[in-house]
């Protein structure tokens, strides 16, 4: 059996624990909240934010009520690219947010004949016919658009069910919020850069 001296020595080697007072617990909670806000708020405002898809204009790529995280920083470091899936403010009512795919870039000419889209620019003065594997239905359009230096032409993947640049014109760059970076819901469709596609130009 241990004697009293041995017990005292063992106790002396143990880490000393002290129960926090209610006041100390409160200030620890406040400190944690401040740190959390300092980390989360800048990310939420400047880097990424959540977005819930509403409607079927991007079907089958995106469906109603799917939950996305939007990358807000990429377009501050680089230019938007053709086929990016973007979230932007609707030009005719900037309180509303839309999700579409970039089809035409600044200073390009867009010609739409039925479901076929031809892009004319410096690299393709003869015209480039776009690949559109993400479109599963056909539209019956006959349109011609010429973009200015800060304008983007956007369309929904559900061509017969999308209210887009064909109806209300191009989107100024200043109204682009960011691109779809992460799909979180539904669980079975979680992926990074959902809907990403690149033309073989």
- pLDDT of 9-60, one tens digit each? 444 455 555 555 666 666 767 666 665 554 444 444 445 577 888 888 999 9
Buried b (16+ CB within 10 A) or exposed e, 34-43: eeeeeeeeee
- pLDDT tens track for 107-159: 999 999 988 999 999 999 999 999 999 888 878 889 999 999 999 999 999 99
Q: What's the pLDDT at 19?
A: 57
Instruction: List, for residues 60-100, the tens digit of each pLDDT value.
Output: 999 899 988 888 888 888 899 999 999 999 999 999 999 99
pLDDT score at 46: 47
Report pLDDT for 82.
94
> Please, which pLDDT band fits residue 7 given cuts at 50, 70 and 90?
very low
In three-state secondary structure terms, 122 is coil
Specify the pLDDT at position 51. 84
Verify whether residue 57 is a known catalytic residue: yes
Reply yes or no on whether the pLDDT at 192 is more than 90: no
Cα separation, 81 vs 24, in Å, equals 52
Pairing outcome for strands 128-129 and 109-114: unpaired
From the candidates 2, 54, 57, 174, give the one annotated as an active-site residue. 57
State the pLDDT at residue 35.
57
Model confidence pTM above 0.85: no
Asked if residue 186 has pLDDT above 90, the reply is: no
Whether the per-residue pLDDT at 3 is higher than 70: the answer is: no
According to CATH, the topology of domain 50-192 is Umud Fragment, subunit A (2.10.109)
pLDDT of residue 118: 95
2, 19, 100, 179: which is the annotated catalytic residue? 100
Asked if residue 190 has pLDDT above 70, the reply is yes
The residues with which 144 forms a beta bridge, in sequence order, are: 111
Domain layout of the chain by residue ranges: 50-192
Residue 100 falls in the annotated catalytic set: yes
pLDDT reading at 201 higher than 70: no
Question: Residue 80's closest CA among 3, 171, 9, 179?
Answer: 179
């Amino acid at each position: 059996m241990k004697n009293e001296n041995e017990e005292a020595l063992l106790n002396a080697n143990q880490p000393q624990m002290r129960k926090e007072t209610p006041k100390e617990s409160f200030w620890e909670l406040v400190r944690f909240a401040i740190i959390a806000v300092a980390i989360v708020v800048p990310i939420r405002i400047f880097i990424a934010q959540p977005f819930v898809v509403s409607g079927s204009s991007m079907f089958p790529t995106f469906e109603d009520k799917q939950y996305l995280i939007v990358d807000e920083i990429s377009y501050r470091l680089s230019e938007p690219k053709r086929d990016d899936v973007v979230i932007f403010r609707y030009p005719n009512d900037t309180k509303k947010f839309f999700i579409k795919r970039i089809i035409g870039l600044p200073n390009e000419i867009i010609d739409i004949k039925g479901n076929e889209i031809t892009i004319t620019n410096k690299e393709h003065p003869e015209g480039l016919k776009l690949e559109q594997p993400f479109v599963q239905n056909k539209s019956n359009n006959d349109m011609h658009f010429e973009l200015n230096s800060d304008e983007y032409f956007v369309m929904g993947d559900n061509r017969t069910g999308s209210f887009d640049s064909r109806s209300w014109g191009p989107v100024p760059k200043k109204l682009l919020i960011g691109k779809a970076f992460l799909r979180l819901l539904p669980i079975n469709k979680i992926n990074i850069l959902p809907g990403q596609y690149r033309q073989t130009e």
